[in-house]
Amino acid sequence: MQAHPNYQDLVLVGGGHAHAIVLQMWAMNPLPGARLTLVSPQIQTPYSGMVPGLIAGHYEFDQTHIDLMRLCRAAGARFIRAAAEHIDPVRRRIHLQGRPELEYDLLSLDVGSTPVQNLPGAEHATPIKPVGRFYAHWQSLQQRLRENPTSTSLGVVGGGAGGCELAMALAWALREPLETGAVQVHLIHSGEQIPQGYPPMARRLVARELTRLGVHVHRNWKVSAITAEGLISDRGKPLHLDEVLLCTPAGAPAWLADSGLELDQRGFVLVDTQLRALGQTTVFAVGDVASFAASPLPKAGVYAVRQGPVLFHNLRAALSNSPARQYRPQRRFLSLLSCGGRRAVAVRNGLAFAGELPWRWKDAIDQKFMHRFSDLPVSMSESTAGASQPRPRQGIDQREGVSLAAMRCNGCGAKIGAGVLSAALRRLPRQQSRYLLRGVGDDAAVMELPPDQLLVQSSDQLRAPVSDPWLCGRLAALHALSDLFAMHAQPIAAQALATLPTAAAELTQRDLYQLLRGAVYELNRHHCVLSGGHSAEGTDLQLGFTVNGLAQPGGVVEKTGLRAGDCLILTKPLGVGTIFAAEGQGQAQGRWVARAIDSMLQSNDTAARVFAAHSAHAMTDVTGFGLLGHLLEMLGDRVDLHVTLIADRLPVLEGAAYCIEQGWLSSLAPQNAEAMDRIANPQEWRCIPQAALLIDPQTCGGLLAAVPAAGAEACLRELHQAGLESAAIVGCVTEINQADREDDASNQRPVRLLRSGDWRQLLTHNYPPSR
């Protein structure tokens, strides 16, 4: 049993500033018995104070964004990459796009706001939020201007602090073409005061900075429509612009409208001084999405940052039935506006001054804030996150009077209770198959198989590589199905073996449902049904399958069918093992992990069909033994064949090479390294950076197939057209001459690794192993 069973589900929706602070504080002082989950469509969330510096070119993307995946690892929290589209506070469920709803006991919303886009023709404009999408557009625009420096006019709509900062950042980043007149930057505001809401001294200094940077300011210019040619004012006056950027007042997410929560006139969630949604006992809201019933606040990041510690305390108080705190917004605070270059305007109590000193001040404050999240210690085990801190005195040890503190027995394999199991199974889609006579709910599955086909069976088990149970279910199913795909068999039924960490019955039911729902999603997508299985308690979340498939007699593609003259094609990039090893230590960038997961979720079914259509002689999936280990399985005891791998042609996940260089290896890698003794040219391959990736264990890795050389390029084109963009010809198979065949050293070292080479030329030569 894990150190402390979980009894309550606390879910944070949105990766805003306040939630980031809650996660950081939770990492330093967790609450045992409360399971923390963050739901966010972004893996990296921007710190608003540094976004103008990012646009201006003073910072790199990673410097200005909080890595939510790493932050969750440090806090021992689950990370679910998804966008909320509805909440049901009565049933306590969050509806997520493209995946099952998520249940909670306590909910907090920090989903931010978006620029209001109710202007006619808004589709011709680019909003500043979400920042990730805007930044990608900005990079594309910069590249376009560098390659084709034609006359271009940019317009920022919105004269608040954010609009002024954005306009000045653009002007600084484009200062060279702006000085020559090739680029113009316009700031358009419906009112007279720029920036809106600031004292006169600050407005004068900002106006001076805008002028210094050459920004064209349009006051009292109310936009009535946006067109492909620019803007039209309420007086019918046109303003030609090639790019319109929206930094208009914030609007609430539309999906909150039918949430059942009390909202203000603009659609934001009304909250009390404890940050709790009005009329709700289990819902909190902070940041831009919150609106204080007594006295609404401006939508500014400074308030969200100050709300973070109060939210942290009050969430824990709600879970442990202790007193809550009041949030009292600061009436006066220092405001620092970035002015394009390394200059800023400092504003406090009506006074203001501008220059390089305020910029250095602002930069120091921003860097210190970001270090709060990057300097946290990270543990490989989520259950021991925060273990370097003093053991918390407070904790949750029961739910509705039921405690799991007593030792759990292992009777019946620590089987999960019938009520929990039945409740989870009832919510799954009904499993139907022409082969399945009896399945889920019976003691055993009964199938009727066609007499003219072969039964292909395989088993596989996966310890959860991610904290999201739905995603884990998908990965486990794909991992198990790949063995059937590699043999060109059609899956028809699967039996599951699920192990779930000890928790309150309600949490176990939620996890089992999410886990099996993810598995069923992939099984059914491949015309395979879940026909039964077994569930039990354990220390870690695990899911395994015994999968059954059908194959035509003579249609099975075996692992050991290599022939001289074959090309080796790998369908997915390498590096899953090293990236997840780095992630477990808090060293992997969130985007590396996300791209690894995207690769893992790519089914091998399509690739298997393409390979079969191109007469593949042998095929296997690349999993725990790494590329080299599985390649040696394909060679078997053949003494007449030699394989050459080309390192430069190996597809590699982003970040994998860096992780390997830093020595972040999967626990299975040292055992896999024994296979390196089978490489013929040790003096050469030890100098090749990609060599270590040959033994990197892969979860849901790609297929490795031997295809006749004459059709290899056509096969590769078809794989690319099918969406397998990373597929590559990585080597070839040649014949060993008779003399070398009789040499024992040649038999023991059948693989040669070259840094680079042309596979076509390699096929015309015999490369005997070095002795």
Q: Which residues participate in catalysis according to the annotation? A: 412
Instruction: Mention every residue, 6+ apart, whose C-beta is less than 8 A from residue 719.
Output: 569, 571, 607, 610, 727
Instruction: Mention every residue, 6+ apart, whose C-beta is less than 8 A from residue 629.
Output: 672, 675, 695
With residue 348 as reference, give the H or E element that holds it: strand 344-348
For residues 528 and 496, the answer to whether their CB atoms sit within 8 Å is: no
Range list of β-strands (E), 174-292 = 183-188, 216-218, 223-227, 230-233, 238-240, 243-246, 250-251, 269-271, 283-285, 290-292
- d(CA 322, CA 413) in angstroms, rounded, equals 38
Please give the C-alpha separations between residue 143 and each of 148, 149, 153, 339, in angstroms, as whole numbers.
8, 10, 15, 23
Q: Exposed, middle or buried by CB within 10 Å (0-12, 13-18, 19+), for 179? A: exposed
- Report residue 391 CA to chain centroid gap: 31
Q: What residue type is assigned to position 405 of the chain?
A: A
Residues facing 93 on adjacent strands: 88, 103
DSSP 329: -
Instruction: Mention every residue, 6+ apart, whose C-beta is less than 8 A from residue 668.
Output: 577, 624, 697
What would the two tokens of residue 204 be? 């004068």
- d(CA 233, CA 245) in angstroms, rounded, equals 16
CA angle 99, 102, 105 (to 5 degrees): 175
- d(CA 60, CA 45) in angstroms, rounded, equals 14
* CA quadruple 654, 658, 660, 663: dihedral sign: negative
What would the two tokens of residue 249 be? 């007042």
For residues 166 and 247, the answer to whether their CB atoms sit within 8 Å is: yes
Helix (H, G, I), strand (E, B), or coil: what is residue 15? Answer: coil
Helix (H, G, I), strand (E, B), or coil: what is residue 114? Answer: strand
* Helical segments of 550-681, H only: 576-584, 590-600, 605-613, 626-635, 656-661, 669-672
- d(CA 444, CA 495) in angstroms, rounded, equals 9
Mind giving me the DSSP string for 66-116? EEHHHHHHHHT-EEEE--EEEEETTTTEEEETTEEEEE-SEEEE----EE-
Give which of 484, 432, 692 is closest to 578, Cα–Cα.
Answer: 692
Pairing of strands 34-40, 44-46: unpaired
For residues 745 and 733, the answer to whether their CB atoms sit within 8 Å is: no
Helix (H, G, I), strand (E, B), or coil: what is residue 166? Answer: helix
What would the two tokens of residue 62 be? 């990673």
For residues 134 and 65, the answer to whether their CB atoms sit within 8 Å is: no
The residue behind tokens 């015999």 is 766
What is the rounded radius of gyration, in angstroms, for the C-alpha atoms of the chain? 30
Give which of 525, 431, 435 is closest to 478, Cα–Cα.
Answer: 525
